[in-house]
Each structure stands twice: as structure tokens, then as C-alpha cells.
A and B are shown apart, each in its own frame.
Chain A
Amino acid sequence: MISAATFHAVMGEIVVGTMVLATLCAVGCTVASLFPGMTGRLSSESMMSTMDKAALAGASLGLAFMPIAMLSGSFAADNAVTNALLYNKFVYSGLALGFWAAYVVGRVRFGSGVWQVRPLSALQGLTAVMAFLMTTMASSIGGKLVRDESLFDILPIWLPSDSATVLNPIISAALLLIGIVALVVVFRLGPKAERISPD
């Protein structure tokens, strides 16, 4: 048997590793589609196809492992939140989950032709970057908690994490309900989005 903390570290490394691959490839696709004349071989059909598939595979794998990482992290913390850092780790993990899910949903709904529609391409790239930022923030808080240091210490960015905004559970439940209803509305009542066939 291994401890929950060790298992959480392994899951976290898988998530971050796959997400790095997904982010790099997604940003590559976005840049190549928005600036086809400036990216040379990056915007070639084969390169675009490779990056698109790698991004989708990385994001899907990371998305599959993220709930496991979150659960094991919760067990590693003895299912208790004792400080703002730990609370924010949960919040950033949720945000990362939402961003990555949106990336995968967008890619699956519209197919590989998503990169040919410039606004959608930009949105996918931005989603991947935000998702990666949230993922690294969540994992860096883990480093702060265990080792009292993180890679963000030497970077000029550090998102708010020393104090937490704890929402009333009723408000959280209401927000959750709003999110679910909004999803149902978009999928059921909204216009039917069709797969974009690549040229």
C-alpha cells in the first residue's frame, strides 16, 4: 500500500505532464491558424493534425486523471480543510476541471475543423492557457503546502491564494445549479452546433 499523499503526487504529475503537452499543442494550433503566414512549417496540414490530436489526447487523459488526483488529494489532507491555501487548491482544481472540460467538449463538438474558424481557434487556445494556469496554480499550492516553496516563487505571477473566499454552501449549490441549467439550455435549447469539416 502507498499513502494517499504519494498516490496524489503520482496522479498530479500525470495530470500536469499531459496538460503541458495539451497546452503547447493547443497554443501551437491557435497560433498557426491565426497567423498562417508567419508560422512556416507549424501551419502545415500534417503538423496541425499532429498537434490537434496530441492536444486532444493530452487534455482527455489529464481530464480523466484530474478527478482521481482531486480525490486522492482530499484523502491526503485527511478530508479536512484547515487553511486558505488548501481551500484555494480545491477551488483552482475545480476551475481547471471546468476549463479542460470546455476545451475537450469544444474540440469534440466541432471536430478538427475547429481551428479553421478564427474566433473558435482563439477561444480554444485561450481556454487551454487558462486551464493550464489553473492546473499549475493548484499543483503549486501543493508544493507550498508540503515543501513551502513552488515554481511560482521565481516567476513574476502568483494568483491570489493566501486568503480564500469561502462561499456559503447554499450559494455554491445555487451556482452549481445555474451551471447545470446553463449547460442543459446550451445543449438542448440552443442552436445545433455542427462539426466543422476540415478543408
Chain B
Amino acid sequence: MMRSRAAVLAVIALLLATSAGVANPGGESDAGRDYTCGGSCHGDPALSSPSDGTVTISVDSMAFTGTAIAIHVTASGMSLSGNRLLGVFLLGSANGNDDRPEDHGWHILQDPNGGLHNYVLVVVPPSGSITLTWVMLAPEHAGMQNLFASIHHGVNPNPNNWAYSALTMGYSVDVQPVPENLPGFSFDWTPEMRVTGDDSPTVIRTKNATSVSVQWMLDGEWVPHDAEAQMVEDDVWAVMLPATIGDTRMQYQVTTSNGEFSIVQPWLTVGTKPPPFDGGIWDARLQSLAFAFLVLAFLVALQTRLSPWEGRPELDPTEEVEAAQAEEVPPPPPGLEPEPADDYWSRLVSSEEAPGWLWDPVEEEWVADPENPPGGDD
């Protein structure tokens, strides 16, 4: 009875434990997302709550059409979950659809993680504050634009399994027509991701530029280094940047010039990605099938070896019996026992008190006298 109760309690405990695993505690990966993921679970008022953190945007109030601009989003003071994950959105509106900056004419050159997304997942450092920078090209049509930032995160403990979110007010950017012949990045250019250890030239495409200069520095450095830049063709440049290895982050800044203007572009990060995986789907399928058959064949052979199959040496007792017979001498049948040696009989002593019996002083026992058996006279 006690065991049954214990089993039932264990099952109930396991079922209750699953409530800790709702939502997505591992976070949603970097992607293009609308506000609150387009009104999914985090947008549900029953599943979310206002964040206790503060989110601000730092951006120039004016930009020229098609030119690069840096947008800094700072989040601080949030109560976070154990893994300190924070999801950050950069948005052009907060309607729940068509909210991505690209939907409003912006072009993301680089997100804080080196990609091209308006939503990034980051780990907040112990200081509790983090600043993330998006570099975007302003829309090609002039006018007032709004930018929003939103965050969502968990807390620890989180008994209601809520998502905590916050949204900034709209930050206005006045996008004005670009002056004639202003040098800058080409609108269709985005920085390339590089494989760890790759030191091949980084290609930069510009417009209206007759020369570029590039500086780079590692995270934590204060003094930038000059990088060599060569023109490959008109408005296409090959820049020699050192390779990045492991978690090393490197930033570089391009200055585009044409004699009339010299524009210092925002700092960009060298995005590194792991080397491409060299396995294919059919490689995996074939290897999987091969391992399946190898394991099956090995185990089936082992089963056969261990099973009591007919003719198996261990079950044929002939050898064992023969060996036992060779080692053991069977006792002689009654009446055919071998006779003791002469010295045995010579040590026996007769006694008048026990006629028919001989005394063995070694074994200290009486032995029947074969020549005068006890009771022989009777």
C-alpha cells in the first residue's frame, strides 16, 4: 500500500515538475521579428507582465537618406532569470505586424551579434546593464521615421511563468535628402560574416567614394590600428583585417571620402561564424544505417554465442566426464578391495582378551584377524 502511494506521489511530482518548462527558457534565437513576436505568447496579457527594467534608445535625430547611422539601445535594471537571457527588439512600429525596420525602409547593415536581424538574444552581464548597437542605412525616401526598442525576459523565481516586457516610446529620426555626391556605403552592401581564423580580405562596397580608410581595434582596446584598403574596382574595396579566433571581437570603422566630403561611418563588428559543417544528409543517413546494422549483427552474433545451441562445447559433457574419470579412481567393488601391504599386518598385535581381533597401534583400532576371524569357532 505504501509503495503504491509512493509511486502515485512520484508520478504527480513529475507531472507538476513539467510546469517549470513552459515557454522557451532557452530563448528565441536571433531573427526578424515583429513586436512581441507578432502577438504570440509573450503578447498575451495573461502570460506577460511589465518589466521592471529601463530601455532607452540613443540615435541622432537627423540622418541622410541611404547613409549609415548607429542606433544604440540600452537596457538596465531588469530582474532576470537564472540564465540572464534578454531578448531585444529594434522596431519601426509597435503594431504587432510589419514592425521590423526593414518594413519602414531601413536597411540593417549589422545587428549587435554581427548578423542582420532586428531581434537579438543576449546574455546580460552581472552589471545588469547592456548597450546594443545596430548599424542601419536610413530609408531612401525622406521623411520622419520612428524607431522603438522592446525587451522581454524572465525573472527568477517566476512562479507564474510570465514573460516580462518593456517598450520604449517612439524616437523620431528626421531623414533628409542626402546631399549630392555624399560618399557612403552602397545600399545593397552588408558586412560579410567570416569563419573563425579566416584572414581573407573583407570586401566593402561604397557609393560616390574615391578613397576609403579603415581602422580596426579589438574589444577592450582604445587605440585603433590602420588597415590596408585597396580598390578592386569602382566603389569596391578590399580591406585587410586580421583574423579573429574564438570569442575575440573586432570592430572596424570606415571613412569614405571623395575630395568633397569625408564621412566617418559607424563602427562595425567583424561577425564570425563557425566553419561550415561538412556533413551531408546522405552521409548522415548512410552512417546511421551502417551503425544500426553493425550493432545488430554484433549483438545477434553475441546472442548466438551465449545461447545453448545444439553442439555447443559447453553443453557436451563428454570431455568433462572423461576428465573426471581420468582424475578420480573409482572405489573397488565390495570384496575386491586391494589387500593391505605386509608391513601393515606385521604391526598388528594379537590379544588373548579379544580373540579374532588384532590391535592396530598406529590407527588405534581393532581389526578383524583374517586368519582367525571373530566368531570363527562358532
Which chain A residues have a beta carbon within 8 Å of chain B's beta carbons? 70, 74, 79-84, 86-87, 90-91, 93-95, 97-99, 101-102, 105-106, 109-110, 117, 119-120, 123, 127, 147-149, 164, 166-167, 169, 172-173, 175-176, 178-180, 182-183, 186-187, 190-194, 196
B 288-305 to A, binary, CB cutoff 8 A, 1 in contact else 0: 111111111111111110
The 4 A-B pairs of least Cβ separation, nearest first, read: A179-B293, A94-B288, A98-B295, A148-B26
- In the complex formed, the residue of B with least CB distance to A121 is B306
A101 to B297, CA, bound (A): 10
Nearest residue in B to A181 (C-beta to C-beta)?
Answer: B297
Contact A117 B296 (CB under 8 A): no
CB of B281 within 8 Å of the partner chain: yes
CB distance from A179 to the nearest CB of B (A): 3
**Interface status of B24 (Cβ within 8 A of chain A):** yes
Check: B340 CB closer than 8 A to any chain A CB. Answer: no
Binds A, one of B195-203, B308-316, B343-351, B368-376: B308-316
**A120 engages B287 (CB within 8 Å):** no
Across-interface contacts of A91 in B (CB, < 8 A)? 284, 287-288, 291
- Residue count of chain B within 8 Å CB distance of chain A: 40
- Which residue of chain B has its CB nearest to the CB of A183? B297
Known: A98-B294, A105-B296. A193 touches B279 (CB 8 A): no
Judge whether B297 and A182 touch: CB under 8 Å. yes
Of all chain A residues, the one with the shortest Cβ separation from B274 is A83
Instruction: State A172–B289 Cα separation when bound (angstroms).
Output: 8
Q: Which single member of B277, B283, B287, B292 contacts A98 (CB below 8 Å)?
A: B292
Q: Is B278 an interface residue (CB 8 A)?
A: yes
Q: Is there an interface contact between B307 and A97, defined as CB atoms closer than 8 Å?
A: no
* A82 in contact with B277 (CB, 8 Å): yes
Contacts of B301 in A (CB 8 A): 182, 186, 190
Can you offer 26 A-B residue contacts whose CB atoms are under 8 A?
A70-B288, A74-B285, A81-B279, A86-B284, A87-B283, A91-B288, A91-B291, A94-B287, A97-B288, A97-B292, A102-B296, A102-B303, A106-B299, A110-B303, A147-B24, A147-B25, A148-B27, A149-B25, A164-B279, A166-B287, A167-B287, A172-B287, A178-B297, A182-B297, A182-B301, A194-B309
Closest to A130 in B: B295
B259 located at the interface, meaning its Cβ lies under 8 Å from any Cβ of chain A in the complex: no
Contacts of A194 in B (CB 8 A): 307-310
CA of A124 to CA of B296, assembled, Å = 13
Instruction: State which of B27, B277, B303 has its C-beta within 8 Å of the C-beta of A83.
Output: B277
Contact indicator A127/B299 (Cβ below 8 Å): yes
Cα A172 to Cα B303 in complex, Å, equals: 25
Q: How far is the CA of A89 from the CA of B26 in the complex (A)?
A: 19
Known: A186-B301, A193-B304. A94 touches B309 (CB 8 A): no
Q: In the complex, which of the residues B279, B291, B312 contacts A175, with contact meaning CB atoms closer than 8 Å?
A: B291
B362 within 8 A of A: no
B286 lies within 8 A of chain A by Cβ: yes
Determine the chain B residues whose CB is within 8 A of the CB of A183 once the complex forms.
293, 296-297, 300
**In the complex, A70→B282 CA distance in Å?**
13
Asked if B293 and A98 make an inter-chain contact with CB atoms under 8 angstroms apart, the answer reads yes
B280 contacts the other chain (CB 8 A): yes
Beta-carbon contact of A95 and B295 below 8 Å: yes
Which A residues touch B288, using CB under 8 A?
70, 90-91, 93-95, 97
